[in-house]
Amino acid sequence: MEDSIEMILQEHRGSYTSRHHPILSVCTGALFTGLYSVWSLFVLPGFRKVPLNLKVPYLPSSKDQTLNTMKLLEGRAGRLADLGSGDGRLVFAASSAGFKCTGFEINSILLAYARSKASWTGVPSRQATFVNKDFWKTDLSSYNNVIAFLAPGVMGVLGEKLLKELPDDARVIACRFPFPDWPLQSSVGSGLDETFAYDISRVRSHLRQEPNPVR
Ligand SMILES: C[S@@+](CC[C@H](N)C(=O)[O-])C[C@H]1O[C@@H](n2cnc3c(N)ncnc32)[C@H](O)[C@@H]1O
């Protein structure tokens, strides 16, 4: 009897140790801790105040996407806003093409990185400034060039904001996710790197003719 109880206990210990192997537990724990740290460092800061339906996570533009964006800005000049500037890569590309750029970013870690990169690469603040501001709460009427690499779900709301605020001669570049009801000026690239250009004067006159597009 005692022998069989001991056997059952041993079996139980065996299955317990094989299901909860110490190295496996440590690795799983480390993986979750790592993922949580990355998530909280790069996604969480500054996000709590933004409404859930307007939250956009960090995802950097690819090299091609950056080149496509710059192609659609050829021949233009003046002030440029990058709505959610991340590590600053689009701002740096645009400032080296002569634009006076502002990167709006609510993630303080990305903001600190972009600011440090500007200072170690010698980009003057009149060419590139990074501000810790929620662009939804910012008046963008002083910008005649706007870049947005955000998320499909926010493009409709963003379109309404930009139409209210931007001057008639403004151009808006949407990376990867187009505006749902706006007439396209041109686009460059394909797939995930496709980038779309819209001229505000054209969008306004199109929407005057078709004020209530069917979705
Ligand atoms: C998809 S990433 C694009 C980053 C960068 N523009 C690029 O192309 O590499 C979107 C960025 O927008 C920032 N963001 C999201 N909502 C924001 C808001 N309301 N105001 C300012 N930045 C915001 C995020 O923190 C994130 O860095």
Q: Where are the beta strands (DSSP E) in the chain?
A: 79-83, 100-104, 128-131, 145-148, 171-175, 186-188, 195-199
* 84 Cβ inside 6 Å of ligand 1: yes
| 24 C-alpha to ligand 1 centroid (Å) | 36
Residue type, position 184, single letter: L
Atom number of ligand 1 nearest to Cα 104: 21
Residue nearest to atom 9 of ligand 1 (CA): 60
Residue nearest to atom 17 of ligand 1 (CA): 84
| 59 C-alpha to ligand 1 centroid (Å) | 8
> Residue 2: is its pLDDT beyond 60?
no
* 90 Cβ inside 6 Å of ligand 1: yes
- Angle CA(162)–CA(165)–CA(167) in degrees, nearest 5? 100
| Residue range 85-144, pLDDT digits in tens | 999 999 999 999 999 999 999 999 999 999 999 999 999 999 999 999 999 999 999 999
Instruction: In whole angstroms, give the CA distance from residue 196 to residue 174.
Output: 5
pTM for this predicted structure:
0.82
| Residue range 133-180, pLDDT digits in tens | 999 999 999 999 999 999 999 999 999 999 999 999 999 999 999 999
Class of 63-209 in CATH: alpha beta
Q: What are phi and psi of 146, to 5 degrees?
A: -135, 135
Q: Where are the domains of the chain?
A: 2-42, 63-209
| Residue range 28-78, pLDDT digits in tens | 777 776 665 555 555 555 677 888 889 899 999 999 999 999 999 999 999
DSSP state, residue 152: G
| 195 C-alpha to ligand 1 centroid (Å) | 16
